[in-house]
Chain A
Amino acid sequence: MNSRIASVAFNTFREAVRDRVLYNLIAFALLLSGAAILVGQISIDIERLVVVNLGLTAVTLFGAVIAIFIGIGLVSKEIDKRTLYTVLSRPVRRWEFVVGKFFGLTGTLVLNTFFMAIGVFLALLYEAHKLEKSDGWVLVALYFIVLQFLMVCALALFFSSFSTPLMSAVFTFALFAIGSLSDDLRGFAGIARGPGGWMVAAIAYLVPNFSALNVINRVAHGDPVPGRLILYNTVYALLYSAMAISGAVLIFQRRNLK
């Protein structure tokens, strides 16, 4: 990686840590340990299921909220504090700034997810007293969640490159919700005909597809995830993120920062 991108990424990561972003881990730990103790007492035969479902869902939602709220402020905060001018006069090119910010935020989220994953496995261990072979698929689900974060970060950065933080948050949240139900949207596009059908199809393929990246229910039941799905989901998430980041670069290049 270009050293200037690495510097921006490292500083973004350091700033996020300074902003006490990782404090969410305390809330996560409390939620999961509380749930693990509680389900052990009230549920029959579905303890593992509850821990995996609750744990992975919490990882997704905590991470998505962090990705959105930090992602939307990455550019605007630097402009408000006027630190952006210092950075760009280093000289760091604008595209390097955007790409560096993206890597810094995803790095923060990967670290955050790593700690939360440890929490999920500890809760599993507490409930079942041992880890099974099928628990390995939980790692795949966690990997898919990280892929989702890449896309959410890229989208948040894209919107923050031209919009206010509030509007960026609204847009990114909306796309996160729509993307989580994107299977239905593409199903509808498959049935609709004529110009309306083409329009729905275009929208359905343009919004992020988070549905295919959500295998929580499947792994909670110990079902395997096909290797091809892992490969395609990886390619898809990388391409989609690249698309959003290049869009952000194009807009940021033209933006008047005076």
Chain B
Amino acid sequence: MSATRRVNWAASAVLLVSMAGAVTTLRAIDRIRRGATFQEALYIRSSKALRRMSLGYTGLLADIYWTRAVQYFGYQHHTSSTDFSLLAPLLQMTTELDPRLLPAYQFGANFLGPKPPNGAGTPEKALALMNYGIEHNPDQWRLYYNLGFLCYTELKDYSKAADAFARGAKVAGANPFMSVLAARMAQHAGEFDTARMLWRTTYESTKDPQIQRNAVEHLQALRVDEDVTRLEEVVAKYHQQSGTLPASMSGLERAGFIRGTPMDPTGRPYQLKSDGRIEVQDPDRILFITKGLPPGMASPQPKVAKKD
């Protein structure tokens, strides 16, 4: 083997070994500096200052801030944190840099309002963000939808929700669903169907996986709440007719009150308790349910990291 060839082989070997070693060491360093790879830092809080510093490239900067907002929320959620204090300023900076960045408003409507650990617990900031969005994009019906959704789910202000849906329905090209929602808000605000319509529209109107997952979890919770309500009504009816409580679900089935064994969204059968209540088998697996829970148990929420 010639000297040049030997050097080439040796240099290639050193290159590969040192590359593998560097990556392994870097992973070890990241383990020591846990959390450093996503720093909760908002370096500049003034969008005016940022605009000047961007030399006019505000669109790109808005994209970066938007990515950072999603990254921040995803990381905090992933680590089961309850602190989402930077979400509102990040979204505010994003939208002030580019007021037409619509996904940022939808994200805000979904995650600024709900209480931790499912959101930042700042519905007033979500409301301000939505109003800012509508002010700068009055021809976007989705923003009215997001505002109505926020008023319905977090603020429980059904008249404001109805007003938002009605305003959105007037926008050219709006989904015909908007006028249906506006009408339902007036008469059937608290009903399962209305809530289901909203969450389904939310799911269908976004590509954001975090918003979609949140919508699916709420739709599953609604299904459980509705199933439990219906099954408990059936048990009451059985009690009224026979004077006794059914011993099991199969007893209800034999009496013709239900068909088959009803299952929850996780595929487990609902349980009939001796006092006639209906419970889900594993309540921790279905987030946000308010019914079908053991006595005294609060509605399950996403897991929260224990504080040291």
Contact = CB atoms under 8 A, between A and B. Distances in A.
B217 to A, nearest CB: 19
A95 interface: yes
Given A211-B36, A212-B29, A232-B29, A187 B75 contact: yes
Interface stretch (B13-21, B88-96, B219-227, B272-280): B13-21
Contacts of B39: 183-184, 187
B188 to A, nearest CB: 39
Nearest to A252: B11
A229 B15 CA distance: 23
A142 B285 CA distance: 51
Contacts of B67: 188
Contacts of B12: 246, 250
Given A249-B11, A253-B4, A253-B8, A236 B37 contact: no
A93 B19 CA distance: 24
Contact of A191 (B8, B18, B19, B75): B75
Interface string A82-97: 0000000000011100
Interface in A86-111: 93-95
B22 A240 contact: yes
A116 to B, nearest CB: 26
Say which size band chain A's interface belongs to.
Answer: 20 to 34
Interface string A176-199: 000000011011101100000000
Interface in A3-26: none
Given A205-B26, A209-B26, A239-B18, 14 more contacts: A183-B38, A184-B39, A187-B37, A191-B71, A228-B32, A232-B25, A232-B32, A236-B25, A249-B7, A250-B11, A250-B12, A250-B15, A253-B4, A253-B11
Contacts of A235: 21, 25
B37 A229 contact: no
A95 B33 contact: no
A250 B8 contact: yes
Interface string A227-246: 01100110110011011001
Main secondary structure, interface of A, reads: helix
Given A184-B39, A232-B32, A250-B8, A243 B26 contact: no
14 contacts: A183-B36, A186-B30, A187-B39, A190-B37, A212-B29, A228-B32, A229-B32, A233-B29, A236-B26, A236-B29, A239-B18, A239-B22, A240-B18, A243-B15
A184 B38 CA distance: 6
B81 to A, nearest CB: 14
Closest 10 CB pairs of A and B: A187-B38, A243-B18, A242-B18, A187-B37, A246-B14, A246-B15, A236-B25, A239-B22, A239-B21, A239-B18
B28 interface: yes
Contacts of B11: 95, 246-247, 249-250, 253
Given A187-B75, A190-B38, A232-B29, A93 B7 contact: yes
Interface of B: 3-4, 7-8, 11-12, 14-15, 18-19, 21-23, 25-26, 28-30, 32-33, 36-39, 67, 71, 74-75, 78
A186 B29 contact: no
Nearest to B12: A250
Contacts of B8: 250, 253
A254 to B, nearest CB: 8
Interface string A200-212: 0000010001011
Contacts of B33: 212, 229
A239 B23 CA distance: 9
Contact of A212 (B18, B19, B36): B36
A45 to B, nearest CB: 24
Contacts of A243: 14-15, 18-19, 22
A250 B18 CA distance: 14
A86 to B, nearest CB: 20
Nearest to A240: B22
A137 B266 CA distance: 55
A133 B198 CA distance: 62
Contacts of A246: 11-12, 14-15, 18
A184 B26 CA distance: 14
A152 B194 CA distance: 61
B37 A239 contact: no
A227 to B, nearest CB: 10
A250 B36 CA distance: 35
Contacts of B26: 205, 209, 212, 236
A246 B14 CA distance: 6
Contacts of A205: 22-23, 26
A98 to B, nearest CB: 9
Nearest to A249: B11
B257 to A, nearest CB: 46
Contacts of B30: 186
A235 B29 CA distance: 10
